């Protein structure tokens, strides 16, 4: 945030001259500039704004006093509905990105029907609220001028179609290219990575391969021949709707089936007996009930089995996992069951999202964006300590920054999971003992409960933060 | 990139003498404009046909004997 007299303008809100997001005393507002007044009034008066908000496609907002504006060119100030957790497209599973893409296309089609169009189509304009995608940029709608092309077509292809096609045809981890390409995956790069068979899809042939060639060819021509001149060629509204419809059809056909990965099948393969697993579930339920947290962050959540227990008590639950298959399963389960509390995210705790973009501050780190009352770190400690060589002290310090209440499971060396981890490497972990674990964690937390899980060697701890770093 | 996908935009560039002036804070790019110009007509016709056949099928289904809506 850029600070100015107790008001902070969000670092990512600088591109569009129509307005910007800022926070005053911790409350988030959006200033609508005078230059956008005509479009905004049309958006309101046409009924499109209300229609999209009523259908849950666009974020709700309240009109507030213009005296709360940030600068003199304010036309209006609105207070958007709060999105508890802002997330980025490379933190979403395949179906989350696909649902966000389809929402964006639905919005373009709806807008065209009401004589408007989306002037941008960045994936950062979509967030997840109650496990559904929602468009958060109220100022993205502008009046449609008959004959004009869709200005955000290229951006849509880079932000949505390219990563989805790469995830479908090449590898599920291809969405991580969005991490290094803030304005979407360059189409030329996408087309080089896609297999030839991708051209058999008419949509991909048009929107990626032809599109990329046209961009490349035009840039080869240089500015004098490649730039616009006086003569106009128009595109009919029906033609634009045809493009939108074809993009929808193309995206609907792209899918990804989670394979039988190590983590996707974790609960089937673990050494827990049924009784031990049931005991763990009961203890987690009881300890969470005791805390009554407003929000829970489930680290290494897998398919969200324990996140669902947290959801019985918390208003929001964020489930982190580094396995795309587990996150996909979790999201699909939430979507299909109508679960509104859980937000599954693809996060690798050993390399979480850092800040990036302009001045390294345009987009925030995951730790700036996700704050919770309670953290679950179940069956996680051995992965951090043994696979990633982290000391208990470093892990405790990290968890201390995240929460006030910690539910953590200690997995001893005698556990079959740890034995398997140490089979192929030298055991350099002399300090990996329950005593050292407690010693390190007691520097930052106070142990409230310590419960052994019957028929397993694992121990569950409920701790509260006793140090504020 | 194959010759096929290179040829189409080249031909289009010969036919289309200019790109359209557009407004907005992001750069659409002439390439993105050209490809929309190329495919819009075809996909527009495809959408019209799709809509027509969908409504035709819907009408046929409504007229089927035993259909509740038909009885009403």
Q: What is the DSSP secondary structure assignment for residue B21, as one 8-state letter?
A: P
Of residues B24, B25, B48, nearest to A238 (C-beta) = B48
Taking Cα atoms as reference points, which of A167, A161, A168, A87 lies closest to residue A121?
A161
Strand A2-4 vs strand A7-9: parallel, antiparallel, or unpaired? antiparallel
Chain A residue with Cα closest to B5: A210
Distance to chain B for A78, nearest Cα, Å = 21
pLDDT in tens, A5-22: 577 888 888 888 999 999
Return the pLDDT at A142: 96
Q: Mean pLDDT, to the nearest integer, of A58-79?
A: 93
Chain A residue with Cα closest to B42: A239
Taking Cα atoms as reference points, which of B1, B49, B24 lies closest to residue A246?
B49
Residue B62 at interface with chain A, using a CB cutoff of 8 Å: no
Q: Which chain A residues have a beta carbon less than 8 Å from that of B9?
A: 210, 213-214, 217-218
Return the pLDDT at A26: 85
Return the pLDDT at A232: 58
Return the pLDDT at A218: 78
pLDDT in tens, B9-50: 555 544 444 444 445 788 888 999 999 999 999 999 999 999
Tokens representing A139? 């100022």
Instruction: Give the SS3 label for residue B25.
Output: coil
Determine, for residues A233 and B39 on separate chains, whether the beta-carbon distance falls below 8 Å. no
Tokens representing A337? 């069951």
Instruction: Give the SS3 label for residue B32.
Output: helix
Helix (H) or strand (E) holding B65: none
Tokens representing A96? 């989350």
B30-63 vs A237-253: helix crossing angle, rounded to 10: 80
Q: Which chain B residues have a beta carbon less than 8 Å from that of A224?
A: none
φ/ψ (deg, to 5) at A203: -65, -45
**Alpha-carbon span A340 to A327, nearest angstrom:** 15
Chain A residue with Cα closest to B37: A235
Of residues B38, B46, B48, nearest to A210 (C-beta) = B38
Q: Mean pLDDT, to the nearest integer, of A55-63?
A: 97
**Residue A313 CB contacts under 8 Å (≥ 6 apart), including other chains:** A288, A289, A291, A292, A293, A296
Taking Cα atoms as reference points, which of B32, B4, B2 lies closest to residue A211?
B32
Determine, for residues B18 and A233 on separate chains, whether the beta-carbon distance falls below 8 Å. yes
Query: What is the three-state SS of chain A?
Result: CEEECCEEECCCCCCCCCEEEEEECCEEEEEEEHHHHHHHHHHHHCCHHHHHHHCCCECCEEEECHHHCCCCCEEEEEEECCCCCCCCHHHCCHHHHHHHHHHHHHHHHHHHHCCEEECCCCHHHEEEECCEEEECCHHHEEECCCECCCCCHHHHHHHHHHHHHHHHHCCHHHHHHHHHCCCCCCHHHHHHHCCHHHHHCHHHHHHHHHHHHHHHHHHHHCHHHHCCCCCCCCECHHHHHHHHHHHHHHHHHCCCCCCCCCCCCHHHHCCCCHHHHHHHHHHHHHHHHHHCCCEEEEECCCCCHHHHHHCCCCCEEEEEECCHHHHHHHHHHHHHHCCCCEEEEECCCCCCCCCECHHHCCECCHHHHCCCCEEEECCCHHHHHHHCCCCHHHHHHHHHHHCCEEEEEECCCCCHHHHHHHCCCCCCCCCCCHHHHHHHHCCCEEEEEEEECCCCCCEEEEEEECCCC
Residue B54 at interface with chain A, using a CB cutoff of 8 Å: no
Instruction: Identify whether the C-beta of residue A12 lies closer than 8 Å to the C-beta of residue A357.
Output: yes
The fraction of chain A above a pLDDT of 70, given in percent, is 93
Chain A residue with Cα closest to B32: A154
Determine, for residues A230 and B18 on separate chains, whether the beta-carbon distance falls below 8 Å. yes
Determine, for residues A229 and B17 on separate chains, whether the beta-carbon distance falls below 8 Å. yes
ipTM comes to 0.84
pLDDT at A95 over 90: yes
Other residues' Cβ atoms within 10 Å of the Cβ of residue A325: 23
A:B CB pairs within 8 Å? 160
Q: Which chain A residues have a beta carbon less than 8 Å from that of B45?
A: 242
Determine, for residues A205 and B5 on separate chains, whether the beta-carbon distance falls below 8 Å. yes
Global pTM reads: 0.90
pLDDT at A299 over 50: yes
pLDDT band at B1 (very low <50, low <70, confident <90, very high): very low
Q: Which chain A residues have a beta carbon less than 8 Å from that of B21?
A: 228, 232
Q: Mean pLDDT, to the nearest integer, of A378-386?
A: 96
Instruction: Identify whether the C-beta of residue A193 lies closer than 8 Å to the C-beta of residue A166.
Output: yes
Taking Cα atoms as reference points, which of B2, B25, B21, B26 lies closest to residue A216?
B2
Determine, for residues B20 and A234 on separate chains, whether the beta-carbon distance falls below 8 Å. yes
Angle made by CA atoms A161, A167, A169, in degrees to the nearest 5: 95
Q: Which chain B residues have a beta carbon less than 8 Å from that of A210?
A: 5, 8-9, 35, 38-39
Instruction: Identify whether the C-beta of residue A263 lies closer than 8 Å to the C-beta of residue A321.
Output: yes
Q: Mean pLDDT, to the nearest integer, of A408-416?
A: 94
Of residues A18, A149, A238, nearest to B33 (C-beta) = A149
Taking Cα atoms as reference points, which of A85, A86, A12 lies closest to residue A360?
A12
Number of H helices, E strands in chain B: 3, 0
pLDDT at A374 over 60: yes
**Residue A442 CB contacts under 8 Å (≥ 6 apart), including other chains:** none
Determine, for residues B43 and A243 on separate chains, whether the beta-carbon distance falls below 8 Å. yes
Q: Which chain A residues have a beta carbon less than 8 Å from that of B11?
A: none
Q: What is the DSSP secondary structure assignment for residue B16, as one 8-state letter?
A: -
């Amino acid at each position: 945030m850029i600070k100015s007299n107790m008001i902070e303008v969000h670092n990512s809100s600088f591109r569009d001259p129509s307005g910007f997001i800022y926070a005053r005393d911790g409350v988030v507002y959006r200033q609508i500039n005078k230059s956008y007044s005509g479009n905004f009034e049309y958006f309101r008066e046409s009924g499109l704004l209300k229609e999209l908000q009523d259908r849950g496609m666009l974020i709700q907002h309240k009109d507030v006093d213009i005296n709360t504006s940030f600068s003199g060119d304010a036309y209006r100030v609105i207070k958007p509905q709060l999105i508890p957790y802002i997330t980025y497209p490379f933190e979403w599973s395949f179906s989350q990105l696909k649902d966000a893409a389809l929402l964006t296309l639905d919005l373009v089609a709806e807008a065209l029907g009401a004589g408007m169009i989306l002037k941008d189509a960045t994936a950062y304009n979509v967030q997840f609220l109650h496990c559904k995608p929602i468009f958060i940029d109220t100022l993205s709608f502008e009046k449609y001028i008959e004959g004009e092309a869709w200005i955000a077509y290229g951006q849509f292809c880079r932000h949505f179609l390219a990563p989805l096609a790469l995830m479908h045809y090449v590898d599920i981890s291809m969405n991580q290219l969005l991490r290094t390409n803030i304005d979407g995956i360059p189409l030329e790069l996408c087309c080089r990575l896609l297999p030839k068979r991708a051209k058999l899809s008419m949509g991909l042939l048009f929107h990626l391969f032809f599109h990329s060639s046209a961009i490349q060819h035009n840039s080869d021509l240089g500015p004098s021949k490649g730039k616009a001149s006086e003569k106009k060629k128009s595109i009919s509204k029906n033609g634009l709707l045809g493009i939108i419809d074809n993009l929808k059809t193309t995206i609907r056909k792209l899918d990804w089936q989670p394979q039988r990965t190590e983590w996707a099948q974790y609960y089937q393969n673990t050494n827990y007996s049924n009784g031990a697993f049931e005991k763990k579930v009961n203890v987690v339920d009881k300890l969470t009930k005791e805390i009554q947290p407003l929000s829970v962050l489930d680290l290494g959540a897998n398919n969200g089995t324990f996140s669902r227990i947290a959801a019985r008590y918390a208003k929001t639950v964020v489930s982190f996992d580094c396995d795309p298959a587990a996150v996909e399963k979790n999201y699909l389960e939430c979507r299909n069951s109508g679960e509104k509390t859980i937000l599954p995210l693809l996060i690798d705790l050993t390399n979480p999202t850092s800040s990036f973009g302009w001045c390294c501050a345009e987009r925030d780190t995951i730790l700036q964006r996700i704050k919770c009352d309670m953290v679950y770190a179940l069956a996680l400690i051995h992965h951090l300590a043994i696979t990633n060589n982290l000391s208990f002290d470093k892990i405790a310090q990290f968890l201390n920054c995240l929460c006030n209440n910690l539910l953590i499971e200690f997995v001893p060396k005698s556990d079959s999971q740890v034995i398997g981890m140490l089979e192929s490497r030298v055991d350099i972990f002399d300090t990996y003992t329950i005593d050292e674990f407690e010693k390190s964690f007691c520097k930052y937390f106070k142990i409230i409960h310590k419960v052994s899980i019957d028929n397993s060697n694992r121990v569950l701890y409920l701790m509260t933060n006793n140090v504020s770093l | 990139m194959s010759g096929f996908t290179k040829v189409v935009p080249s031909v289009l560039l010969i036919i289309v003498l200019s790109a359209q002036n557009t407004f907005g804070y992001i750069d659409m790019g002439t390439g993105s404009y050209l490809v929309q110009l190329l495919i819009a007509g075809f996909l527009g016709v495809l959408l019209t046909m799709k809509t027509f056949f969908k409504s035709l099928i819907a009408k046929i289904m409504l007229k089927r004997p035993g259909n509740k809506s038909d009885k009403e």
